Chains A and B, each alone.
Chain A
């Protein structure tokens, strides 16, 4: 039977020859992930189940990245719950501050997630790993707790939507962020509700891994169950030096069934900005009008990778951040941090007047390290611009790619990089 890549991975993990959309399956998991917000709840629930040990010490991964380095006493207590549990269980993949990174930048980098895997994480952006050709989806703490005990979870097999990005070359300053924002702007924040979003086409084949992670990362912002990109040489080159265990490459059959096929010509896509308060409120940056900003944030699980930082540096080089703007840059992991430092990007950032943060989810979810006051406006390379997302309920967040965020930081208003002299 013809199947999509999502269906093939789910079938393999459910011990079946084939599965169809709508079918309820019990699925074996390769990775179960939690962070310092969701894992404390999961650990409490896990302890109620009454099994002494997690199903696999290597496959349960804990990353304290949201409110760390601990922002207050309560957060410190939550981080301590993870630390204590990780020690007691002897978890291989627990990452303390100093080795820690933003989970969705860290796991691929460390080779913990691989093509063909079935992964759940108690974090909605767990869909990021679909960029490697894995089935990966966000769940809540209770699902995580049950999966820590059993190594399994039940799923309804999702229907798939195929997105085809035609055209070989992206326009200048356009990246994965703009393709996905354009897509969400087109289909809406529930346009892929309960469904798999499969990203295909020549423009995807030419996209770097960092760009692909950005796209899969935001599948949840369209309501998707997972985002997925079939592996190719780019994927294999990325995982080769990282993944130390066997993995399997799946591809969709040519006659696989999709509920919809949506095609875009990338020649029509310019850098995008999502206006408050939904990621679907997108428009091309050239149509943004005059929007003055107080803060710019470059980083996060969406755009905190080395390519993102290089892009920001390219725009910032030789310029100063506008006197009315705070620019905060937070690299995704310690490795990315060191790489950016060694490449001289930190000199460019500091000379421009930017603050560089240790890896943390911090400002993206209004946790710490860059909270907005009442009436303030930020442009951010993050993933959500909901009411109050980055601080006061009457503050505003605009989403963009790193080049647009950097250019806006220089000019003090939302602007495309070509406006910077």
Chain B
């Protein structure tokens, strides 16, 4: 599994209210949610973000509420993966469950500037900064978790497994 895209950088403790404000939670439609992705952290983000782009953030990304609408809107906005120094636990779990790849790598976060082109090799657990010609280790995503992402999330994964 590999991803490549342009990066957008965010600071520490980006909370779920910044990722998708509660005023938009009267819908569950992914594309409606995507139109407001990261709006309270960067009002222009929904317009700027392109398919395949990568979010790079400091520690504790996704803290706060359990709203799955947060990883759902990031995925629906076309973001291919999120790299952070650390993730809040409910967001971490939700991301895998809905099939949004996320990686922890403090070194990569420090070594990437906004706009850098980055390639992520999920199997090897390596993040390449193509703009700067550097590379960083990240925690590798174990095969069953990759299968979960590949299936599009936990529900499809469970269905696929039940069908044998």
Question: Which positions in A face B, CB cutoff 8 Å?
Answer: 37-38, 40-41, 44-45, 48-50, 66-67, 71-72, 74-75, 78, 121-124, 126, 138-143, 145-146, 189-190, 193-194, 220, 223, 225, 278, 365-367, 384, 386-389, 393
Contacts and interface: CB of A to CB of B under 8 A. Distances in A.
B158 interface: yes
Contact of A122 (B13, B25, B66): B66
Interface string B18-48: 1001110111100000000000110100000
B132 interface: no
B27 A74 contact: yes
B69 interface: yes
B138 interface: no
B12 to A, nearest CB: 9
Given A48-B159, A78-B28, A387-B18, A143 B63 contact: no
Nearest to A120: B66
A187 B26 CA distance: 34
A40 B26 CA distance: 10
A329 B70 CA distance: 29
Contacts of B154: 142-143, 146
Contacts of A126: 66
Contact of A142 (B13, B17, B43, B68): B68
Contacts of B22: 37, 365-367, 389
Q: Which 3 A-B pairs have the closest CB atoms?
A: A140-B94, A74-B26, A142-B97
B158 A44 contact: no
B17 to A, nearest CB: 4
A122 B93 CA distance: 12
Nearest to B27: A74
Contacts of B153: 142
Contact of B15 (A141, A143, A386): A386
A40 B28 contact: yes
B87 to A, nearest CB: 9
A138 B66 contact: yes
A381 to B, nearest CB: 18
B55 to A, nearest CB: 17
Given A49-B155, A190-B59, A67 B88 contact: no
A49 B15 CA distance: 30
B81 interface: no
A374 to B, nearest CB: 13
Contacts of B129: none
Contacts of B89: 193-194, 223, 225
A172 to B, nearest CB: 32
Given A193-B88, A223-B88, A386-B15, A37 B98 contact: no
30 contacts: A37-B22, A41-B68, A41-B69, A45-B155, A50-B159, A66-B25, A78-B28, A123-B65, A124-B66, A140-B71, A140-B98, A141-B68, A141-B94, A142-B68, A142-B155, A143-B93, A143-B97, A145-B155, A189-B60, A193-B86, A220-B64, A223-B60, A366-B22, A367-B25, A384-B15, A386-B64, A387-B18, A388-B40, A393-B21, A393-B43
Contacts of B72: 41
B67 interface: yes
A41 B97 contact: no
B66 A139 contact: yes
B65 A124 contact: yes
> Quick one: which of B13, B27, B28 has the most chain A CB within 10 A?
B28
A386 to B, nearest CB: 4
Interface string B148-164: 00000111101100100
Given A142-B154, A220-B90, 4 more contacts: A41-B72, A138-B66, A139-B93, A190-B59
Interface string B52-92: 00000001100111111101100000000000001011100
Contacts of A223: 60, 63, 88-89
Contacts of B26: 67, 71-72, 74-75, 78
Contacts of B43: 393
A124 B22 CA distance: 14
Contacts of B23: 366-367
A145 B25 CA distance: 18
A18 B94 CA distance: 27
A226 B97 CA distance: 20
A38 B155 CA distance: 16
Given A41-B69, A139-B66, A223-B60, A386 B159 contact: no
A71 B71 CA distance: 25
Contacts of B13: 189-190, 278
Contacts of B15: 384, 386-387
Nearest to B61: A190
A255 to B, nearest CB: 27
A194 B18 CA distance: 21
Nearest to A222: B63
A139 B96 CA distance: 12
